[in-house]
Amino acid sequence: MQKQTKSVLFLPFLQIPSGHHQVAHAIADGMLEIDSAITCDKVDILSYSYGKMEKVVSHLYLKWIHTFPALYHAVYQHAVYRNFEKNKRYRIYEWLFLPFMKKLIEEKQPDLIICTHALPSYMLNCMKKRKEIKTPVVNVYTDYFIHLFWGLDHIDFHFVPTGQMKSYLIQRGIDDEKIFITGIPIHSNIIKQLQPVYKKKPLYSVLISGGSMGVGRVDEIIEQLKESRSSQPIHFYVLCGKNTDLYEKIKGLNKPHIIPFPYISCRKEMNDLYDQADAILTKPGGATISESLFKRKPIVIYDALPGQEEINLQHLQEAGLVFPLKKGNLYKQILSILQDRDGFNKYQLQVAKFHHQLHPTPSSELIAEILTGSRP
């Protein structure tokens, strides 16, 4: 029977609510706006391969980060970040996942595959090298650096967040025309802010993000903020995600200047919250940072998880795109950033440089062009 519609297979990793899934959803929804006949499937290869084992792995992963952050960072650096001129083989992962990846591709028969995580990209790169698959594959990077685990040489297209990452890929021998500087893709309902607006206000709004997985320092942040008086000129809106314990804890404080939000699935609602915020207080996770950059909001970093977030923070600081908090009074530091017009203007120059390098066509449209063959 002849295939009637085009199909796209999205490959994040694990089921935890990470940027890998958020970016996949953003691109899929954007493509469906272009052509509602496109079929979009999203599959976590670990769940597909080993079923309920994914929940165990996710739990252990989060526990490891929370309990032994320094060890996790050291292992991450050694495994995938150091010596990244070398071509490493990850044979244990090949043994664990390649047979299932082959089965998945044969089962789904996609017209295009989009990897928002390195592990599926590595597997597909192996398959393409062996000429076991002809389906076009797109890497969509969800951090501000590229580590060793990503498949590179035989991947068809690369969507990178920054020009620095494009330069790295070119140094690795990837053709220029295969690389698009897109930023980390965001949902079309998050409307891009064209011009920054500075206003000195009697009352500021700060959006706090990063507590959805129950790791990080959000609890400590809330403990500091609850001591501040509600008459002071900042209200804090806390995105708790699916972390119900955090939501209930903040709600129980009954502080009128600290307002918690449960999980928000509607991107239009998130867009409204971004528009009302004067700054974003967050960890350097790729998806939230990308949305904040597109909104041209000052980004204040209160913490970074070991591994990829610490490396993200390093690259974002070098680009002048974030304000890292120092030890001391958190409230006073945030207020100082909000009231500093010169600092705001300098920051917005760096954000403008970031936007200037981006491809004018949104990610979903670029991928739709690849899918239809209008972009060779």
φ/ψ of 63, rounded to 5, equals -65, -40
- The reported pLDDT for the residue numbered 15 is 58
Q: By C-alpha distance, which of 322, 256, 238 is closest to 286?
A: 322
Fold of 7-183+359-372: Rossmann fold (3.40.50)
Q: How far apart, in whole angstroms, are the C-alpha atoms of residue 280 and residue 338? A: 11
Mean predicted lDDT score pLDDT of the chain: 86
pLDDT tens per residue, range 262-313: 988 888 999 999 999 999 999 898 788 999 999 999 999 988 877 788 889 9
Pseudo-torsion of CA 49, 51, 56, 57, nearest 10°?
Answer: 20
> Helices 363-372 & 19-34, crossing angle to 10 degrees?
60
3-state secondary structure the chain: CCCCCCEEEEECCCCCCCHHHHHHHHHHHHHHHHCCCCEEEECCHHHHHHCCHHHHHHHHHHHHHHHCHHHHHHHHHHHHHCCCCCCCCCHHHHHHHHHHHHHHHHHHCCCEEEECCHHHHHHHHHHHHCCCCCCCEEEECCCCCCCCCCCCCCCCEEEECCHHHHHHHHHCCCCHHHEEECCCCCCCCCCCCCCCCCCCCCCEEEEECCCCCCCCCHHHHHHHHCCCCCCCCEEEEEECCCCHHHHHHHHHHCCCCEEEECCCCCHHHHHHHHHHCCEEEECCCHHHHHHHHHCCCCEEECCCCCCHHHHHHHHHHHCCCCEECCCCCHHHHHHHHHHCHHHHHHHHHHHHHHHHCCCCCCHHHHHHHHHHCCCC
- Is the pLDDT at 198 greater than 60? The verdict is yes
> Which pLDDT tens digit goes with each residue over 100-149?
899 999 999 999 999 999 989 999 999 999 999 999 999 999 999 998 88
Tell me, yes or no, if the pTM score tops 0.95.
no
What local confidence, expressed as pLDDT, does residue 128 receive? 96
pLDDT of 84 above 80: no
205-214 burial, b at 16+ Cβ within 10 Å, e below that, comes to bbbbbbbbbb
Domain ranges for the chain: 7-183+359-372, 204-356
What is the per-residue pLDDT across 335-347, written as a single tens digit (0 to 9) for each? 999 999 999 999 9
- Tell me the percentage of the chain whose pLDDT exceeds 70: 85
Structure confidence by residue, pLDDT tens digits, 200-243: 888 999 999 875 655 557 888 888 888 776 667 999 999 988 88
Q: What is the pLDDT of residues 32-68, one digit of tens each?
A: 999 999 999 999 888 887 776 656 555 554 554 455 4
> Across residues 324-352, what is the average pLDDT?
92
Class of domain 204-356: alpha beta
Do the first three CATH levels of 7-183+359-372 and 204-356 match, i.e. the same topology?
Answer: yes
pLDDT-based confidence at 328, cuts 50/70/90? confident
| Interacting residues of 102 by C-beta distance below 8 A, sequence separation 6+ | 127, 132
Question: What pLDDT, on the 0 to 100 scale, is given for residue 68?
Answer: 44
